[in-house]
Amino acid sequence: MTQNNLIVLLTDFGLSDPYVGVMKGVIKNINPGVDIVDLTHEIRHQSITEAAFCLMTSYKYFPQKSIFVCVVDPGVGSERKIILISTDKYYFLAPDNGLVSWAIENEPVQKIIWVKNSKYFLKPVSSTFHGRDIFAPAAAHLSLGLKPDLLGEEIKDIVRIPFPKPVSKDNVVTGEIIFVDHFGNLVTNISRDITGRTQASKVSLNGKTMDIKDSYQSVCAGKPLAVIGSSGYLEVSVRNGDASRYFSSKEGTKVELKVS
Amino acid sequence: MTQNNLIVLLTDFGLSDPYVGVMKGVIKNINPGVDIVDLTHEIRHQSITEAAFCLMTSYKYFPQKSIFVCVVDPGVGSERKIILISTDKYYFLAPDNGLVSWAIENEPVQKIIWVKNSKYFLKPVSSTFHGRDIFAPAAAHLSLGLKPDLLGEEIKDIVRIPFPKPVSKDNVVTGEIIFVDHFGNLVTNISRDITGRTQASKVSLNGKTMDIKDSYQSVCAGKPLAVIGSSGYLEVSVRNGDASRYFSSKEGTKVELKVS
Amino acid sequence: MTQNNLIVLLTDFGLSDPYVGVMKGVIKNINPGVDIVDLTHEIRHQSITEAAFCLMTSYKYFPQKSIFVCVVDPGVGSERKIILISTDKYYFLAPDNGLVSWAIENEPVQKIIWVKNSKYFLKPVSSTFHGRDIFAPAAAHLSLGLKPDLLGEEIKDIVRIPFPKPVSKDNVVTGEIIFVDHFGNLVTNISRDITGRTQASKVSLNGKTMDIKDSYQSVCAGKPLAVIGSSGYLEVSVRNGDASRYFSSKEGTKVELKVS
């Protein structure tokens, strides 16, 4: 029986080159019936943490048994492993560089396979484009129902990147911006749990303080606010504007939550 | 029987964030067999009129029963309605902000539903990403054959934005640029009907006058011309060039048609 | 029997306008079951050679019988022909401007059809958007199994662009940069065959000389190297960096290979 899991692509390849299209060609050549969805290909060049955050906040909206193919891979061509992580609900195929660490924090991991069985690779394997030569064909074979074990050897340890947790001291929780979106919204690492628990109502960023509101409409156009964003994390936004420009802020900028 | 209307997405979300990918995940989770096409996600940030123009000039090229999911939504999280408009041939799901007004001017409207039945929404509904929590699941259920009435309550009145009609005075028709495309072509609000009726042969823009030609090849490379564009509206172009730069023009710039 | 070849799109239309989406609408309207993959839509505006290079280095990764729809078409609306080239394995639909020349150098051509049977076009055919009015419907009909001959008349001669071959003199092979990718990698016209045959180990670009290495990891982060890229051509790269900025280089810049 032909199985047809959804394949979801997450890379920093951009869409201006033919690289993503070629990966899809390789996949369709092996499994013409499989469906492919782009999560995004505009991860900041080689930013493993940006990819990790996008994956963490997105994967659970996809159908069970989806195969996430994540290629943000500064170590391509080196000895870094390629791994396939099977959880109860999903497959994650990625370089072993921490990209998947945040996504699997709440997903029971069943098995981790070091993908090394070249039988399922394109030959010759280039040293610069494993997305085409290894990731795409491995995912396509998986989508046809190939058992993960056949792709390589089981391992126990993988590279993990710690999620940057906010720090509490006195009556202040200090977090940071971990993602800036296309609208200029500044997504922080301060989760809904923390704002809920602390009953905090004010946030400071670059010397400006603003209220935590329920929606953009609680302030006038052009005015800043903080809001629990769609990812479940506190975001600093400007209604009908660009908070990233308004605050001259980017990834890494500190954000303070004043606990009442 | 499973119905599988095509779902067409039109947003200002861009492709650099995972938002569009997540919407597709939500849709595929509800209806794995449905086909999704991107109309564009690069509508200028919150530009309802640009989205309205894109939709108006594009929808009729899609198969009957296509479901257009249009999310340019500065009012997300406010009391603005989300509406589903069924015409004889299509479904349009959009915020009630006028986005659909131009598309339905020539489409007999069968019914307008105020989409409010949270049974078909993702829970909890965020205040900032209704594309994911309301639009995507509602469209997916529709594509499975859900009756529009089940999504909410019928209403009669919606927000309508008047199409900016050109003005005739003496022997001059004054219109404006309503869309600038990726090539720098300046699309005006002067339709083929008007140029045909007036037998006009010359157009002025920012003090320069040029002829209305049948195709780019009627002038030399680097030279400006006016031409009835693929949308059925008069466009000012530069052959093998960028008219937007050549004329330092953008949306709103006045264009004059000299009637013979 | 319904045939469903994969349709692959390659254009310079960008993704910010609805043009590509509309082409997909036209295709789905004729063949709802066909699969469409974007190779890329970000070919440099009207750059036939960039499109030719992308196609040449990408097509063979796609399933046999794929239909490549290539629309980089500065001559749209002129007397230039639209051609369909059937090879043993693929279909290429493109303006007769040389775009397909490099791809078919190693593909036995079966037949070339001048696409002119307006029965299969959208009417009226605009003078500016043949992608929508001719290419998309022709490809969709082909994907349904239409015989190529029915699209027009067989011809023998097409426009061919010579591939810019490197020049050998004394102990130096002089090539040039023919493609700059999204990462800033500088892809040259010097193939793996040439570097292999000449046993060359050093490359010069803008006065700087670097070694040909097996992978990015052979140099430190931020350092330049040359490497046989995934396309089979020599590339100049900067590990974890942008070679295009590092060398202030772009398409056309000369590259020298020092033969040992």
**Which of C28, C77, C133 lies at the smallest CB-CB distance from B215?**
C77
Cβ distance of A28 and C181 shorter than 8 Å: no
Residue C251 and residue C53: Cα distance in Å, rounded? 12
The predicted pLDDT at position A1 comes to 37
Residue B3 has pLDDT above 70, yes or no: no
Q: Do B63 and C25 touch (CB under 8 A)?
A: yes
With contacts defined as CB-CB under 8 Å, which chain C residues touch A20? 38, 40
Q: How far apart are CA C198 and CA B120, in angstroms?
A: 66
Q: Is there a contact between B58 and C127 if contact means CB atoms under 8 Å apart?
A: no
User: Which has more pLDDT, B200 or A16?
Assistant: A16
Smallest CA–CA separation between B31 and chain A, in Å? Answer: 10
* Smallest Cα distance from C3 to chain B, Å: 18
For residue B22, the chain A residues in CB contact (below 8 A) are: 39, 58, 61
What confidence tier does C173 reach under pLDDT thresholds 50, 70, 90?
Answer: very high
Q: What is the mean pLDDT of residues C231-254?
A: 93
The stretch C32-50 carries a mean pLDDT of: 96
Instruction: Give B167 to chain A, closest Cα distance, Å.
Output: 31
Helices (H), chain B: 19-30, 48-58, 130, 136-143, 192-198, 243-246
If residue A52 lies in a helix (H) or strand (E), which one and from where to where? Answer: helix A48-58
Mark yes or no for CB contact B18/A227 under 8 Å: no
A252 burial class (0-12, 13-18, 19+ CB within 10 angstroms)? Answer: exposed
Identify the CA nearest to B211 among candidates B221, B226, B198: B226
pLDDT at residue A219 in the model = 92
Residue type, C84: L
Distance of CA B154 to the CA centre of its chain: 24
Residue B85 pLDDT greater than 90, yes or no:
yes
Q: Show Cβ contacts of residue C34 under 8 Å, excluding neighbours closer than 6 positions.
A: C4, C5, C6, C7, C27, C28, C140, C143, C144
**Closest Cα in chain C, distance from residue B9 (Å):** 9
Which residues partner with B153 through β-bridges? B114
- Closest-CA residue to A91 (of A76, A75, A109, A73): A109
Check CB contact under 8 Å for B230 and C126. Answer: yes
Query: d(Cα C104, Cα C160) in Å, to the nearest integer?
Result: 10
* Cis peptide preceding B124, ω within 30 of 0: yes
Enter the ipTM.
0.95
Task: Give the pLDDT of residue A217.
Answer: 87
**Which of C161-184 are b and which e, b meaning 16 or more Cβ less than 10 Å from the residue's Cβ?**
eeeeebeeeeeebebbbbbbbbbb
Give the number of other Cβ atoms within 10 Å of residue B222's Cβ. Answer: 10
B26 and A215 within 8 Å at the Cβ level: the answer is no
Counting as contact any 3 or more CB pairs under 8 A, the partners of A are B, C
At residue A176, the pLDDT reads 96
Nearest alpha carbon to residue B175 among B187, B163, B165: B165
Cα distance between residue A27 and residue A23, in whole Å:
6
pLDDT of C3 strictly over 70 = no
Question: By C-alpha distance, which of C66, C232, C179, B18 is closest to A133?
Answer: C232
Distances (CA, A) of A214 to A209, A225, A230: 16, 10, 12
SS (H, E, C) chain C: CCCCCCEEEEECCCCCCCHHHHHHHHHHHHCCCCCEEEEECCCCCCCHHHHHHHHHHHHHHCCCCCEEEEECCCCCCCCCCEEEEEECCCEEEEECCCCCCCHHHHCCEEEEEEECCHHHCCCCCCCCCHHHHHHHHHHHHHHCCCCHHHHEEECCCCCCCCCCCCEEECCEEEEEEEEECCCCCEEEEEEHHHHHHHCCCEEEECCEEEEEECCHHHCCCCCEEEEECCCCEEEEEECCCCHHHHCCCCCCCEEEEECC
Q: Of B54, B66, B237, which is closest to C18 when you measure between CB atoms?
A: B54
Q: Do B37 and C46 touch (CB under 8 A)?
A: no
Distance from CA of B193 to the nearest CA of A (A): 37
Mutate to test the interface with B, among A3, A13, A37 (most CBs of B within 10 A): A37
Contact B17 A181 (CB under 8 A): yes
Least CA distance to A73: which residue of chain C? Answer: C240
Nearest CB partner across the interface for A230, out of B21, B32, B132: B132
**Which chain A residue's Cα is nearest to B30?**
A63
Residue among B14, B25, B128 minimizing CB distance to A216: B128
Predicted local confidence at residue C1, as pLDDT: 37
Q: pLDDT of C60-118, one tens digit each?
A: 999 999 999 999 999 888 889 999 999 999 999 999 999 999 999 989 999 999 999 99
Q: Using CA atoms, how far apart are residues A90 and A60, in angstroms rounded to an integer? A: 9
Give me the pLDDT at residue C2, please: 46
- What tokens were used for B227? 């031409």
State how far Cα B13 lies from the chain centre. 14
pLDDT tens per residue, range B89-128 = 999 999 999 999 999 998 999 999 999 999 999 999 999 9
Whether C178 shows a pLDDT value over 70: the answer reads: yes
- Residues near B110 by beta carbon (within 8 Å), at least 6 away in sequence: B86, B87, B88
Contact C181 A17 (CB under 8 A): yes
Residue C193, C-beta contacts closer than 8 angstroms, at least 6 positions apart: none
Is the Cβ–Cβ distance between A110 and A87 less than 8 Å?
yes
Residue B27 pLDDT greater than 70, yes or no: yes
Distance CA A219, CA A243 (A): 14
B127-150 average pLDDT score: 97
Total number of residues shown for chain B: 260
Distance CA C215, CA C221 (A): 12
Are A127 and C216 a contacting pair at CB < 8 A?
Answer: yes
Q: What is the pTM of this model?
A: 0.95
First to last CA, chain A: 59
Q: Who's near B112: CB < 8 A, 6+ residues apart? A: B83, B84, B85, B86, B154, B155, B156, B158
Which candidate from A58, A215, A230 shows the least CB-CB separation from B21? A58
**CB pair distance less than 8 Å for B24 and A40:** no
Yes or no, beta carbons of C183 and A126 under 8 Å apart:
no
pLDDT (tens place) for every residue of chain A, 260 residues total: 345 689 999 999 999 999 999 999 999 999 999 999 999 999 999 999 999 999 999 999 999 999 999 999 998 888 899 999 999 999 999 999 999 999 999 899 999 999 999 999 999 999 999 999 999 999 999 999 999 999 999 999 999 999 999 999 988 999 999 999 989 999 999 999 998 888 888 999 999 999 999 888 899 999 999 999 999 999 999 999 999 999 999 899 999 998 87
Interatomic CA distance for residues A145 and C156, integer angstroms = 46
d(CA A253, CA A244): 11
Distances from the Cα of B155 to the Cα of B75, B114, B221, C260, angstroms:
19, 6, 53, 80
Q: What DSSP line would sit under B179-191, residue for residue? A: EE-TT--EEEEEE
Q: CA B168: distance to chain centroid?
A: 26
Say what percent of chain B tops pLDDT 70: 98
Average model confidence (pLDDT) across chain C: 94
**How far is C251 from B16, CA to CA, in rounded Å?**
26
